[in-house]
């Protein structure tokens, strides 16, 4: 019976996942290759050329599509420098090298508008532009700039500063001279067909290999290729804030939508709904996805010395200036990259909420539709020519391999990643309505559970949901024997202590807390644990520390 159950559940995950994704995929090809990329570097920065060459070699970009320009140094450039040093020279090179062709097209008359002729890209061999470390990040405001009709714009949109990346996305429209003030509507926002994400539809998919050091920028493509080989595994964490300010609910909705997408697609997903950002003591382990808001600088678990980002991890924090500078350990994008993130996004100036990435759209396009990072990132942007920068290899596509074939390969190789594949199997089946009893039987019969911290912890979680705390504690204690990660070990010790306390096993609970503090001497919420220990031992601490807002584990 158990073997039969295993076979049924396996089909539920692998066949169902493959079929659903295949049905969702557009008819146009989605496998991006280096020939679709133009790589841009700063001739004045030696490391910029080195990173460009490394990327071109790793992705098979033709030599003719690696372009250097004499650009400003630093992360900011003036509007004139952007226009004269990068925008126009790049457009000229793309045309002269026959990488795209700009021509005229007559748009037919509409009921409320006469016919007109527009100049646009009507043929293109490239879809992506990769900007390498050394290429400026921000376009500064030009106080002397004037445009017809700008006085009709709302005051908060009467601005011309922008992200270099976002401004270059509309390079295919350069001959049309789109307005520089305020954002432009993204014509491919929410697109599901990758064929629409193309210069002939007015968008160039721009991202950058950048970060606090050249080595961090260089490794972004290496980490992307590693994750493409074995897929992206780990846990998904999301942090909403329940805002009361008018017009701010949209941010929560986007993040909640991304969380639900990850849950439905099999990721072990945690949604923090407590006030404030996730506290430092919350044990975030083996992070594959993170999205949250709203703090100016990396805080909580992300400010600690070690953060457990998995190979290929994506992380995004919604804040107006999350990417104002990315070559420092400030704001969010820089710290994310230092801690090991493979792909991220941020904004360089105030974008206002409606002008930030829709992370729910991103998650669905990246995971379910199996788009590349560049495709998913720009399909998630409501506006262009605005404030968003996209950091990472745009060709990164971790969900490209057939899930069933990948699972079989991991099984043949006896890979430790197989545990994550089984975990996703379990979560997918629960998401489509398999009973908890069936899933528990499956895990109990599964040989990897007997040596896996990941699967034993999941079994413990299911026992708790069944109302079996003693069985759960046993499963968690088993997980501790199977080399859990540092943060996973903290979580296991903590939940064991909490459940032992509920069962009235005070001495055992105290021992679990003692082991936590012994194994993690620098645990940031040590005072919270000590207060719990004092309560268990019947002692009153000399001074009661403020309780850290600990989300439910």
Residue 130's DSSP bridge partners are: 39, 207
Structure confidence at residue 83 (pLDDT)? 97
Whole-number Å distance between alpha carbons of 478 and 472 = 10
Cβ 139 vs Cβ 79: under 8 Å: yes
Phi, psi of 106 (to 5 degrees): -95, 120
Mean pLDDT of 361-365: 98
Q: Using DSSP bridges, classify how beta strands 309-317 and 343-347 pair: parallel, antiparallel or unpaired.
A: parallel
| Average of per-residue pLDDT values in the chain | 91
Residues contacting residue 196 through CB under 8 Å, at least 6 positions apart: 188
Give the dihedral of Cα atoms 538, 544, 550, 552; nearest 10 deg.
20
Please tell me which residue, 28 or 482, carries the higher pLDDT value: 482
CB burial class (10 A; 0-12, 13-18, 19+) of residue 549?
middle
Model confidence at 540, pLDDT cuts 50, 70, 90, reads low
pLDDT digits (tens, 9 = 90+) for 456-512: 999 999 999 999 999 999 999 999 999 999 999 999 999 999 999 999 999 999 999
Model confidence at 106, pLDDT cuts 50, 70, 90, reads confident
pTM: 0.92
Mean pLDDT of 51-67: 97
Residues contacting residue 298 through CB under 8 Å, at least 6 positions apart: 317, 331, 332, 335, 336
Whether 62 shows a pLDDT value over 70: the answer reads yes
Cβ 393 vs Cβ 312: under 8 Å: no
Q: Could you give the count of Cα atoms lying within 13 Å of 300 in the half-sphere of its Cβ? A: 21
Structure confidence at residue 111 (pLDDT)? 73
Whether 177 shows a pLDDT value over 80: the answer reads yes
Judged by average pLDDT, the poorest of 65-69, 466-470, 547-551 is 547-551
Whether 433 shows a pLDDT value over 70: the answer reads yes
Model confidence at 302, pLDDT cuts 50, 70, 90, reads very high
Q: Which of 230, 209, 164 is nearest to 385 (CA)?
A: 164
Structure confidence at residue 459 (pLDDT)? 98
CB burial class (10 A; 0-12, 13-18, 19+) of residue 385?
buried
SS (H, E, C) 321-359: CCCCCCCCCCCCHHHHHHHCCCEEEEECCCCCHHHCCCH
Whether 20 shows a pLDDT value over 60: the answer reads no
Please tell me which residue, 14 or 376, carries the higher pLDDT value: 376
pLDDT digits (tens, 9 = 90+) for 114-153: 878 888 899 999 999 999 999 999 999 998 988 888 888 8
Structure confidence at residue 541 (pLDDT)? 53
Whether 419 shows a pLDDT value over 80: the answer reads yes
Model confidence at 548, pLDDT cuts 50, 70, 90, reads very low
Structure confidence at residue 100 (pLDDT)? 97
Structure confidence at residue 553 (pLDDT)? 62
Whole-number Å distance between alpha carbons of 470 and 452 = 19
Phi, psi of 63 (to 5 degrees): -55, -35
Cβ 111 vs Cβ 19: under 8 Å: no
CB burial class (10 A; 0-12, 13-18, 19+) of residue 73?
exposed
Mean pLDDT of 308-335: 97
Structure confidence at residue 244 (pLDDT)? 84
Mean pLDDT of 341-354: 97
Whole-number Å distance between alpha carbons of 54 and 51 = 5
Whether 319 shows a pLDDT value over 50: the answer reads yes
């Amino acid at each position: 019976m158990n073997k039969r159950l295993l076979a049924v559940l396996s089909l539920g995950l692998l066949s169902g996942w493959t079929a659903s994704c295949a049905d969702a995929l557009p008819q146009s090809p989605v496998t991006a290759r280096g020939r679709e990329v133009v790589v841009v570097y700063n001739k004045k920065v030696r490391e910029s050329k080195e990173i460009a060459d490394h990327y071109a070699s790793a992705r098979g970009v033709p030599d003719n599509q690696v372009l250097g320009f004499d650009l400003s140094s630093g992360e900011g450039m003036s509007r004139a420098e952007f226009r004269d040093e990068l925008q126009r020279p790049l457009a000229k090179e793309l045309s002269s090298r026959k990488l795209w062709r700009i021509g005229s097209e007559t748009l037919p008359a509409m009921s409320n508008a006469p016919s007109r002729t527009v100049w646009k890209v009507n043929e293109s061999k490239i879809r992506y532009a990769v900007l390498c470390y050394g290429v400026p990040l921000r376009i500064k405001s030009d106080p002397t700039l004037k445009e017809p009709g700008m006085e009709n714009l709302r005051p908060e949109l009467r601005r011309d500063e922008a992200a270099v990346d976002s401004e270059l996305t509309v390079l295919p429209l350069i001959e049309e001279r789109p307005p520089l003030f305020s954002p432009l509507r993204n014509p491919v926002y929410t697109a599901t067909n990758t064929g629409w994400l193309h210069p002939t539809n007015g968008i160039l998919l721009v991202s950058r290999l950048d970060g606090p050091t050249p080595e961090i920028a260089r490794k972004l493509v290496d980490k992307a290729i590693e994750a493409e080989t074995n897929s992206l595994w780990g846990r998904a964490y999301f942090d909403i804030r329940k805002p009361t300010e008018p017009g701010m609910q949209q941010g929560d909705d986007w993040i909640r939508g991304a969380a639900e997408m990850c849950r439905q697609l099999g990721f072990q997903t945690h949604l923090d709904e407590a006030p404030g950002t996730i506290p430092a003591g919350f044990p975030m382990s083996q992070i594959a996805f993170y999205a949250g808001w709203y703090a100016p600088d990396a805080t909580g678990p992300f400010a600690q010395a070690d953060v457990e980002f998995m190979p290929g991890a994506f992380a995004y924090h919604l804040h107006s200036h999350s990417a104002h500078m990315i070559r420092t350990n400030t704001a969010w994008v820089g710290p994310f990259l230092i801690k090991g993130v493979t792909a991220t996004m941020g904004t360089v100036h105030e974008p206002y909420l409606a002008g930030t990435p829709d992370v729910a759209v991103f998650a669905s396009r990246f995971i379910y539709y199996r788009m590349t990072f560049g495709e998913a990132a720009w399909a998630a942007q409501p506006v262009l020519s605005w404030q968003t920068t996209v950091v990472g290899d745009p060709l990164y596509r971790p969900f490209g391999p057939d899930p069933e074939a990948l699972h079989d390969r991991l099984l043949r190789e006896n890979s430790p990643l197989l545990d994550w594949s089984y975990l996703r199997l379990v979560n997918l089946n629960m998401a489509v309505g398999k009973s908890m009893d069936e899933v528990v039987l499956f895990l109990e019969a599964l040989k990897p559970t007997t040596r896996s911290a990941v699967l034993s912890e999941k079994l413990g979680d299911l026992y708790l949901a069944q109302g079996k705390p003693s069985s759960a504690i046993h499963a968690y204690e088993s997980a501790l024997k199977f080399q859990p990660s540092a943060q996973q070990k903290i979580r296991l010790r903590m939940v064991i202590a909490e459940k032992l306390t509920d069962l009235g096993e005070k001495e055992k609970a105290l021992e679990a807390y003692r082991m936590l503090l012994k194994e993690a001497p620098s645990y940031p919420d040590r005072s919270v644990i000590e207060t719990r220990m004092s309560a268990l031992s019947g002692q009153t601490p000399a001074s009661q520390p403020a309780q850290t807002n600990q989300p439910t584990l």
